[in-house]
C-alpha cells in the first residue's frame, strides 16, 4: 500500500520531498554528518544503477570459513546464493554449510579451493582466508573467470599485489578489496573535504592503530582432528602446529600477515591514500617501540612509522593501547583508532564513529559547485555486486587494494630493517642506500608447491 509520503513516477516509486528530507535528517542525525552532504549522497545514490533483483542472483562460494569470511558471505547472500563453502578445517567448513543452508539446500563442502574453480555455476568467490592465502586463491579465481570479493589486506607482499593486479586486468575479473571504509560516508566526506582544500594545504596525516599483543613463548601441540595443517601453512615455512599461529591470531606472525599494521592499518592507510590522491610515498622510516618475545608473536606490537610523499606531506602511523581516550581534546591528540588530517587552515578527525574538526564549519559548510566528488558507494558488498552486473570497476578494485597493502608493507619493511628507505612508487622498488636489502623484502620464498602456479 502506498502512503502519502510517496508519489508514483513511471515504473518505480520515488519518495516525495517531505519523505526525502525526513530521511536525510534522520541519516544526518544518526551518522553525525552535515545535512548538505547526506542530501547529496542520497540523491546520487538514487541515480545509481539498479541492483540485481531476486531473479538475478549469482552462485557464490566462500573460501575461508572463519568469522570474517562467514560475515562476508552472510552479507553477500543478500545478492546471491551461497552454494559452496571451502576450508582446510573440516569443522569450520561444516559450520559454514550449516549456517548457509536455506530452503532445504545445503552448500557443498570442499577442503581444496581448486575444486570450486571447476564449477560453472559458481560465479563469485568470497575470499576470507588468512592473509598468506589471499593471493593464491584470488589468482586462481581470476584465471577461472570468477569475480572476487577478497578480504584485506590484499596481499602478503608487494610482489604478490603486482601479480594479482595483472591477472585481474588480463582476465577482466571484477575484484573488490574488503576495505569497506571506502563505502562509509564519514570517510568519504573527510577525504572530499581534504581533497578540495577545506583545511588549506594538507601537511600531515596521523593514523592511530591499536597495539598488537606482546605474548609468548608458545608451545607446539598435536594438530587438531580435521585440520590440514600443511595446507593451512601453504607458502609459509613448515613448522609444528602452535594454536596461536592458526585462525584469528595468525595476523600477529610475519609468516602469515603483518600485525596491526596490515590489519587495521590496511583500512586507515587506505583512507589516507584516498585523501592524498597519490600512489604512494617516496620515503619511509620506522621505529619499533618494543621487541617480540622469543618464541612468541613475531610482528611488532607497538611502533611508529613516518612516510613522506613527493609533495612533502608527512604520514605518521602510531600505535596506542589507551582505550579510554575520547572527546575533542583526544581528537586533536590522537586515539586508539582513527585518522587526523592537518592542514594550514585546521584539522579534521575521522573514524568509524565520528567526524569532527578544529572548527565545526570545516565540516558543516557545503562544498562549492564544481568541487571534486569521489567515487560513491554506500554499501561495499552492494557496490561489488552492482559491478558484477555492470562490469565496471568497484570502489576498491585490486589496484586500489594493492596500493593500500603496499603502504602497510613498506611500514613493516622499514620497521624490520630499522633504516630510512627511499621508495619509487612508479617502479615499485626501493632506491638509493639500503636498496638491495630492502628490495629483498618485496617478495618471499614460497614453499613448494604453494607458489604462483598453484591452482593454474
DSSP 3-state of 85: strand
From first to last of its 456 residues, what are the pLDDT tens digits of the chain? 223 232 333 333 334 445 545 555 555 655 679 988 888 877 776 665 554 444 579 999 999 999 999 999 999 999 999 999 999 999 999 999 999 999 999 999 999 999 999 999 999 999 999 999 999 999 999 999 999 999 999 999 999 999 999 999 999 999 999 999 999 999 999 999 999 999 999 999 999 999 999 999 999 999 999 999 999 999 999 999 999 999 999 999 999 999 999 999 999 999 999 999 999 999 999 999 999 999 999 999 999 999 999 999 999 999 986 544 434 334 444 456 899 999 999 999 999 989 999 999 999 999 999 999 999 999 999 999 999 999 999 999 999 999 999 999 999 999 999 999 999 999 999 999 999 999 999 999 999 999 999 988
CA 138 vs CA 31, 170, 400: distances in Å: 34, 13, 15
Chain Cα centroid distance, residue 348 = 22
- Pair 274, 401: CB distance under 8 Å: no
- Give kind and range of the element (H or E) at residue 312: none
Q: Could you tell me the three cell numbers for 382?
A: 552492494
Cell numbers of 405, please? 597493502
> Is 422 in a helix, a strand, or coil?
strand
206: left (phi over 0), alpha (psi -120 to 50) or beta: beta
Task: Look at residue 325 in the predicted model and tell me its pLDDT.
Answer: 40
* Residue 56: all three cell numbers together: 538475478
The secondary structure of 330-391 as a DSSP string is HHHH--SSEEEEEETTEEEEE-SS-EEESSTHHHHSPPPTT---PPP-S-HHHHHHHHHHH-
Per-residue pLDDT, 43? 76
Task: Give the per-residue pLDDT at 42.
Answer: 79
Other beta carbons within 10 angstroms of residue 150's beta carbon come to 29
**For the chain, which domains are there?**
184-370+399-439 (3.30.360.10)
Contacts 24+ apart (CB under 8 A), 317-326: 317/206, 317/207, 317/209, 317/261, 317/265, 317/269, 317/411, 318/206, 318/207, 318/208, 318/209, 319/208, 319/209, 319/210, 319/211, 319/212, 319/260, 319/289, 320/208, 320/209, 320/210, 320/211, 321/210, 321/211
Neighbour-count burial for 348-364, b at 16+ CB within 10 Å, e otherwise = bbbbeeebbbbeeebbe
337/322 Cα distance (integer angstroms): 10
Amino acid at each position: 500500500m502506498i502512503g502519502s509520503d510517496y508519489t508514483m513516477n513511471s515504473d518505480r516509486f520515488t519518495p516525495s520531498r517531505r519523505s526525502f528530507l525526513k530521511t536525510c535528517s534522520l541519516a544526518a542525525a544518526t551518522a553525525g554528518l552535515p545535512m548538505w552532504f547526506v542530501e547529496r549522497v542520497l540523491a546520487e545514490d538514487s541515480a545509481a544503477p539498479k541492483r540485481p533483483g531476486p531473479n538475478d542472483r549469482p552462485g557464490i562460494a566462500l573460501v575461508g570459513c572463519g568469522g570474517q569470511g562467514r560475515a562476508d558471505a552472510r552479507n553477500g547472500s543478500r545478492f546471491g546464493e551461497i552454494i559452496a563453502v571451502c576450508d582446510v578445517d573440516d569443522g569450520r567448513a561444516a559450520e559454514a554449510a550449516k549456517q548457509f543452508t536455506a530452503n532445504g539446500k545445503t552448500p557443498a563442502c570442499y577442503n581444496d579451493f581448486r575444486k570450486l574453480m571447476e564449477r560453472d555455476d559458481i560465479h563469485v568467490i568470497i575470499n576470507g582466508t588468512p592473509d598468506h592465502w589471499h593471493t593464491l586463491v584470488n589468482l586462481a579465481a581470476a584465471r577461472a573467470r570468477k569475480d572476487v570479493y577478497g578480504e584485506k589486506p590484499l596481499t602478503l607482499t608487494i610482489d604478490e599485489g603486482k601479480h594479482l593486479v595483472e591477472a585481474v586486468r588480463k582476465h577482466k575479473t571484477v575484484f573488490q578489496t574488503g576495505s569497506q571504509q571506502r563505502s562509509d560516508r564519514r570517510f568519504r566526506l573527510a577525504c572530499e573535504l581534504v581533497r578540495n582544500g577545506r583545511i588549506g594545504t594538507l601537511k600531515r596525516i596521523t593514523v592511530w592503530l591499536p597495539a598488537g599483543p606482546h605474548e609468548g613463548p608458545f608451545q607446539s601441540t598435536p594438530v587438531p582432528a580435521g585440520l590440514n595443517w600443511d595446507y593451512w601453512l601453504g607458502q609459509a615455512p613448515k613448522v609444528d602446529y602452535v594454536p596461536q599461529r592458526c585462525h584469528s591470531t595468525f595476523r600477529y606472525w610475519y609468516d602469515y600477515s603483518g600485525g596491526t599494521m596490515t590489519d587495521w592499518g590496511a583500512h586507515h592507510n587506505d583512507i589516507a591514500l584516498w585523501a592524498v590522491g597519490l600512489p604512494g610515498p617516496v620515503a619511509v622510516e620506522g621505529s619499533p617501540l618494543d621487541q617480540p618475545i622469543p618464541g612468541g608473536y613475531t610482528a611488532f606490537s607497538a611502533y611508529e612509522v613516518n612516510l613522506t610523499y613527493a609533495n612533502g606531506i608527512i604520514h605518521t602511523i602510531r600505535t596506542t593501547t589507551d582505550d579510554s581516550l575520547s572527546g575533542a581534546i583526544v581528537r586533536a591528540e590522537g586515539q586508539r583508532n582513527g585518522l587526523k588530517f592537518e592542514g594550514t587552515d585546521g584539522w579534521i578527525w575521522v573514524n568509524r564513529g565520528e567526524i569532527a574538526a578544529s572548527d565545526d564549519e570545516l565540516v558543516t559548510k557545503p562544498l562549492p559547485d564544481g568541487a571534486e566528488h569521489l567515487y560513491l558507494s554506500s554499501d561495499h558488498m552492494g557496490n561489488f555486486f552492482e559491478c558484477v552486473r555492470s562490469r565496471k570497476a568497484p570502489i576498491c578494485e585490486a589496484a586500489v587494494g594493492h596500493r593500500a597493502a603496499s603502504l602497510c608493507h613498506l611500514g613493516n619493511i622499514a620497521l624490520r630493517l630499522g633504516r630510512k628507505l627511499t621508495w619509487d612508487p612508479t617502479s615499485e622498488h626501493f632506491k638509493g642506500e639500503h636498496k638491495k636489502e630492502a628490495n629483498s623484502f618485496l617478495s618471499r620464498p614460497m614453499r613448494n608447491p604453494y607458489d604462483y602456479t598453484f591452482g593454474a
